[in-house]
Amino acid sequence: MPASHTLEFLNMPSLNRKTVRLTVVLGASVAAGLVLASWLLDRPTPGRPALPAAAVAAPAPATTAAAGAAPAAPSVTTGPTPAASGKPALTVAVISPQREMLSSVIAANGSIQAWEEASVGAEGSGWRLADVRVQVGDAVRRGQVLARFDTRVAEADLAQLRAAVTEAEAAAAEAAANAKRARDLQGSGALSAQQVTQYLTAERTAQARLEAQRAAVRAQELRLAQGQVLAPDDGVISARGAAATVGAVVPPGQELFRLIRQGRLEWRAEVAAAELGALQPGQSVRVQPVGGEAVTGKVRRIAPTVDAATRNGLVYVDLPAAPGLRAGAFARGEFETGRSEAPTLPQTAVLMREGFSWVFIVGPDNRVRQTKVTTGRRTGDRIEIKTGLPADARVVLSGGGFLADGDLVRVSAAPSAPPATPVPVGPAAPGGAAPRQGG
């Protein structure tokens, strides 16, 4: 704007000179704020030098009458980046793939179930339950009394039948004596043939009645024995029915308890149909129950059919007695089908990003190249590398999460002893510098 126009503009009666000066000062303050923000963004970080003190020139606010002109933009210079300066981003240790013998396994899921369960119920009819002697989880032996019914009425019936047996024995003895006399007198003519036949028939009838009474006593004794509920086998009580309550009148056939026979458990693994052919009875299996310690089981049998919906077959695995195993629990397992040699890396050298496995390969110029690999079996702290990695590749052992593709690194002189954490190169910010993110 020409000076004459500026003077006319400033001499306008409607414009205040103080307002103009304030506008100029505010503009200069905004410019200084932008310079400060730029300095904060370029403050020292690992691998980036500090902003020189002479890089920021704060202009003095204009206070002359010709203050309508915009203030000059400040000049800002930044330090060189690590790539431009050639400084390494990290000091790393490198390692090459090593070939190791690994087990070939088939992984499967399944549930732990009882090998065989026995249902224990009431055999008597209409008896009142007088005593329950076991609870869920109790270990029992074959023949142990689990519960007892009130059998006083049955005991009275048994006594009555035994008395009837005594009476039948007396009648049979009398009939036998009469028959003996009839046989003795049969040739003398003192008794007719009809009388002799009657005495002999009475003897046989009395003997049959005696046998019937004795059979009734045996039946009542068996019925009385049903007043005690006995364990059919060694095992563990796994369930108790609602009818197993003292005072309840239990109908015949009502289940009172469920028993895991011999306390044996098995793992029923669901295995894909395509993998069933690699399994056979007697094979060892490592089973890991949820929340418990791993145990070693043995394949007992393989189901002859495959589920039409899931295309999986059941494999029954016998499990040893262990405190952490419980029927109904979920478990994972691995069937070992053989061993083979394969290249491996420490798990610290393999990164997971966006659902894929990556490693950083150090090139001849000490710049890293992010490479996708396919992983496989794991053993201890090592992992199998199936594809994507040359046999002579130099792989960053640890600290890959601090690197990005193309970063320059310094290779440690002792790769066999990798550092616990990656060491950044460059000045450290107060309080510790944040790790560099790959990108």
> Are both 222 and 281 inside the same structural domain?
no
Distance CA(300)–CA(321), nearest Å, equals 16
Residue 430 belongs to a domain: no
pLDDT in tens, 298-352: 999 999 999 999 999 999 999 998 888 999 999 999 998 888 889 999 999 999 9
Residue 344 belongs to a domain: no
- pLDDT at position 50, please? 45
Complete DSSP assignment for 176-224 = HHHHHHHHHHTTTTSS-HHHHHHHHHHHHHHHHHHHHHHHHHHHHHHHH
**Beta carbons within 8 Å of 118's beta carbon, 6+ residues apart:** 232, 233, 235, 258, 259, 261
pLDDT in tens, 8-17: 444 444 444 4
> Are both 29 and 111 inside the same structural domain?
no
Task: Please state the rounded mean pLDDT for residues 182-198.
Answer: 83
In angstroms, what CA-CA distances link 66 with 7, 14, 21, 73?
Answer: 8, 17, 10, 18
Task: Please state the rounded mean pLDDT for residues 369-385.
Answer: 90
Residue 102 belongs to a domain: no
- Exposure on the CB side of residue 200, measured as CA atoms within 13 A: 12
Residue 269 belongs to a domain: yes
Residue 130 belongs to a domain: yes
- pLDDT at position 297, please? 94
> Are both 246 and 269 inside the same structural domain?
no
Domain region containing 237: 120-259
Q: What is the CATH number of the domain that holds 284?
A: 2.40.30.170
Q: Please count the residues of the chain.
A: 439
Write down which residue in 259, 278, 306 finishes a domain.
259
Closest CA relative to residue 362, chosen from 99, 98, 88: 88
Q: Which of 181-195, 262-276, 409-423 has the lowest mean pLDDT?
A: 409-423
> Are both 318 and 389 inside the same structural domain?
no
pLDDT in tens, 62-117: 333 333 444 444 443 344 444 444 788 889 999 999 998 888 889 999 999 999 99
Q: How confident is the model at residue 58 (pLDDT cuts 50, 70, 90)?
A: very low
Task: Please state the rounded mean pLDDT for residues 147-171.
Answer: 92
- Please report, in angstroms and rounded to a whole number, the separation of the first and last CA atoms in the chain: 49
- pLDDT at position 111, please? 95
> Are both 276 and 355 inside the same structural domain?
no
pLDDT at 120 over 60: yes
User: How is the beta sheet containing 423-424 ordered, strand by strand?
Assistant: 409-411, 90-92, 423-424
Residue 433 belongs to a domain: no
Closest CA relative to residue 328, chosen from 266, 257, 236: 266
Distance CA(48)–CA(45), nearest Å, equals 5
Q: Looking at the 3D structure of the chain, how many domains does it have?
A: 4
> Are both 17 and 142 inside the same structural domain?
no
Residue 436 belongs to a domain: no
- pLDDT at position 186, please? 80
Write down which residue in 296, 313, 339 finishes a domain.
339
> Are both 388 and 298 inside the same structural domain?
no
> Are both 143 and 243 inside the same structural domain?
yes
State which H helix or E strand residue 3 sits in.
helix 3-10
- pLDDT at position 239, please? 93
- pLDDT at position 314, please? 96
Distance CA(362)–CA(415), nearest Å, equals 13
Residue 211 belongs to a domain: yes
Residues 248, 128: contact at Cβ < 8 Å?
yes
Q: How confident is the model at residue 24 (pLDDT cuts 50, 70, 90)?
A: very low
- pLDDT at position 354, please? 87
106 token code pair:
């088939």
pLDDT at 429 over 50: no
Distance CA(9)–CA(3), nearest Å, equals 10
> Are both 250 and 271 inside the same structural domain?
no
> Are both 111 and 60 inside the same structural domain?
no
Mean pLDDT of the chain: 79
> Are both 136 and 239 inside the same structural domain?
yes
pLDDT at 173 over 50: yes
Write down which residue in 259, 292, 323 finishes a domain.
259
* One-letter amino acid for residue 162 of the chain: R
338 token code pair:
């053989």
Q: Which residue matches tokens 């003997």?
A: 207
pLDDT in tens, 205-237: 999 999 999 999 999 998 888 889 999 999 999
Considering the chain, what percentage of its residues have pLDDT values greater than 70? 74
Q: How confident is the model at residue 33 (pLDDT cuts 50, 70, 90)?
A: low
342 token code pair:
């394969």
- pLDDT at position 75, please? 41
Q: What is the CATH number of the domain that holds 374?
A: 2.40.420.20
Residues 96, 394: contact at Cβ < 8 Å?
yes
Distance CA(201)–CA(173), nearest Å, equals 13
Task: Please state the rounded mean pLDDT for residues 130-139.
Answer: 93
> Are both 190 and 250 inside the same structural domain?
yes
Distance CA(118)–CA(263), nearest Å, equals 11
Higher pLDDT, 380 or 163: 163
